[in-house]
Structure 1
Amino acid sequence: MKTVYNDRHGQHAARHEFFRGQLVPAFEIPARAYYVLQALQAAELGPILPPEDHGLAPLARVHSAAYLDFLSGAWAEWQGLGGEGDAFPAVWPVRTLRADVLPRSFAARLGLYSMDSGTPLTAGAWPAAYWGAQCSLTALDLVLAGERSAYVLTRPPGHHAGADFFGGYCFVNNAAVAAQAALDRGLKRVAILDVDYHHGNGTQACFYERADVFFASIHGDPLTEYPFFLGHADETGAGAGLGFNANFPLPAGASNEAWFACLDAALARLQAYAPELLIVSLGVDTYGGDPISHFQLDRPEFSLLGQRIRRFGAPTLWLQEGGYATEAIGHNVLAVLRGFESST
């Protein structure tokens, strides 16, 4: 399997984040990708390629122009104001407040374009996110050219980013960018399967009223788990997209048997949809030792996940999302990809 690696991800290196009301060492750090890279190299899984630059236009097919303009210039603006350290949003236009007038204040716009206070805006956030999207597009090129699959090794992750906001460590939605690009290249039906512990709210929102992308997600119940405000089972799409969104929330601590029952149900829905491309938002924060998540998967289960996806039968694009047990992430990702490669 070919891997497309974002060698600029290390430019995004937050020191701290807010977690449960405290400033703590950041969970989403460069070591996450370095450990995966080392595991892939040691296993000789396949060639590791750099991304090609497809420009800003594919990102603008998913994200608003105003948001991308803000994100690309936010660090320089923060520094111009004398900002020290990473920037964190602190105010948001919640219910009864207006979001249709663009404030002049940087602090106000930082809140306008974000969903939480746990996602540090760093000096390298934009280049890391931009080149992550380029990795996704490059891997898509490989699959559309005939590769059975390709894996995108990048960070920050993407599935929480919406059309005009960042959050959950995510700035650009790589899965949505790749799906839209595939449609723009002529595909008619694309499926996205999100197996991260946390619901991919941004990805769901991008395609919620559309029938050309089927989104399915297995995740921690939003009644207790981030992102809290999306990911319930009754969210099945709207308008033209009614019936093309399937959420499978599970309580914290759910058994592996329950998780795989949801995987089988999700794959059955996607099989009936008959996609020409399957995009997997691969979060391995479902690992039993993950510090911020509460499922119980381990390497045998990750291998089985890869095997199940292989048997699905569609060309497959793997995109790295979460996984915060840093020293285990490489082995867990490798188990998934090896399971996929070894399955017949």
Structure 2
Amino acid sequence: MRVFFNARHDAHDVKAEFYHGQTISALDDPRRMGIIRDALAHKVAARLVDPTDHGMAAIRAVHDAGYVNFLSHAWQDWNNAGFDGAAVPGVWRAMVTGIGDANLNPGDKSAHAASVLPDQCHILKKLGQYAYATDTPIGDGSWQAAYWGAQTAISAANAVMKDGEASFCLGRPPGHHAHRACYGGHCLLNNAAIAAQHMRAMGADRVAVLDIDQDHGDGTQDIFYQRGDVLTVSIHAAPDNHFPFFSGYAHETGTGDGLDTNLNIPLAENAGFSGFSDGLGLARQKIIGFDADMLVVSLGVNAHEVEPLGTLGLTTENYFAIGQQIASLGLRTLFVMEGGYAHDVIGQNVVAVLSGFLGGIGSNP
């Protein structure tokens, strides 16, 4: 398996984040990538590949132009305003309609952020416009890391499209919480969505995105919610009591051309492998029925039993079985790294998924 490695990921090195009323050490720590890389080197026949710079076109095909301009200048604007430390929002515009309103299309949640702000606006206004959570500080190298994370996803997508061999996009920050025009959940650019859209642009007819991170892939859902050419499926902890809280419900199935091309499979706390496997069975049926010719897997391993925010209770052995089930789809597959923050197990859990997948290729759906 080829592992496209974002060697510039460590430029995003914020030291702390605000979580549940406390300042804690940043969960998305740069050490995560080295742990996974080293684990792969010892356990999987992986070939490290340096990504190619493909420029901005594929990023702009997914993300709002004003939002991208904000991200690329946020740190400079923050410094120019005289602030120290990482950039975090301090104020948000109040919304008359709550984004948790059951009658509001998930695709509308970031619509307020799509309006263009004048460049001279104060950075706190821009942060309040584009951030939806306090957990994603922006530091000196955050844009560089995010940009190269996207290039890593594009390069890996190109490789899968070219010869069909499975590839793994290993980079950070993660991406599946990044909407078309807002950010949160440690995510700035949506690498999985960028890869899926790039595959479509390169000639793939129908692309499926399968998100197995414990958190709902709200950003990916938002980006493709009104489209029928990309199927989005997310298996995650039920949002009533879990981030991102306001999306991930089963009734969110898409709208317009995207009607019935979004599937959410929320799981109860401590669902374990039995519940997750049942959910994956539903996901597989949906993907098979969609007749996808390419698969992008948002690979999060934060549902493990020792993860700091884990609630589903999966084990490393479970992740091996999950990899086998994904392989049984028989699709050309790109894995994109998402969450997973327990340093003691993140490497072995990623290895388990990819080993299960590589060992399961060729089995029947």
1:20 is aligned to: 20
1:65 is aligned to: 65
In the alignment, the residues of structure 2 paired with residue 188 and residue 108 of structure 1 have an alpha-carbon distance, to the nearest angstrom, of: 40
- C-alpha displacement of 1:102: 2.3
- C-alpha displacement of 1:147: 3.1
Letter in 1 for 2:279: C
1:256 is aligned to: 273
In the alignment, the residues of structure 2 paired with residue 218 and residue 10 of structure 1 have an alpha-carbon distance, to the nearest angstrom, of: 29
2:302 is aligned to: 285
1:265 is aligned to: 282
1:296 to 308, 313, 317: 313
1:330 is aligned to: 347
In the alignment, the residues of structure 1 paired with residue 291 and residue 229 of structure 2 have an alpha-carbon distance, to the nearest angstrom, of: 11
- C-alpha displacement of 1:41: 1.5
CA RMSD in angstroms, aligned pairs only: 1.3
How do 1:36-47 residues align onto structure 2 when only pairs under 5 Å count? 36-47=36-47
In the alignment, the residues of structure 1 paired with residue 45 and residue 132 of structure 2 have an alpha-carbon distance, to the nearest angstrom, of: 37
1:75 is aligned to: 75
In the alignment, the residues of structure 1 paired with residue 116 and residue 338 of structure 2 have an alpha-carbon distance, to the nearest angstrom, of: 32
In the TM superposition, what whole-angstrom CA distance separates every residue of 1:132-187 from its partner, at most 9, and x where no partner exists?
A: 01000100111011132100110100000011111100000001101111111111
1:225 is aligned to: 242
In the alignment, the residues of structure 1 paired with residue 344 and residue 358 of structure 2 have an alpha-carbon distance, to the nearest angstrom, of: 23
1:113 is aligned to: 130
1:189 is aligned to: 206
SS of 1:326's partner is: coil
1:173 is aligned to: 190
Corresponding position: 1:102 with 2:114:
no
- C-alpha displacement of 1:314: 0.3
1:245 to 231, 254, 262: 262
Instruction: Indicate the larger mover: 140-149 or 197-206.
Output: 140-149
- C-alpha displacement of 1:299: 1.4
Letter in 2 for 1:177: I
SS of 1:223's partner is: helix
- 8 Å Cα contact 2:44-2:355 kept in structure 1: no
- C-alpha displacement of 1:317: 0.3
- C-alpha displacement of 1:281: 0.1
In the alignment, the residues of structure 2 paired with residue 287 and residue 238 of structure 1 have an alpha-carbon distance, to the nearest angstrom, of: 33
Q: Runs in 1 of length 4+ with deviation above 2 angstroms?
A: 96-103
TM-score computed with the length of structure 2 as normaliser: 0.92
2:225 is aligned to: 208
In the alignment, the residues of structure 1 paired with residue 317 and residue 35 of structure 2 have an alpha-carbon distance, to the nearest angstrom, of: 19
- C-alpha displacement of 1:101: 6.4
In the TM superposition, what whole-angstrom CA distance separates every residue of 1:24-79 from its partner, at most 9, and x where no partner exists?
A: 11111011111001101122522101110110110000001111111001111111
Letter in 2 for 1:81: A
In the alignment, the residues of structure 2 paired with residue 158 and residue 288 of structure 1 have an alpha-carbon distance, to the nearest angstrom, of: 23
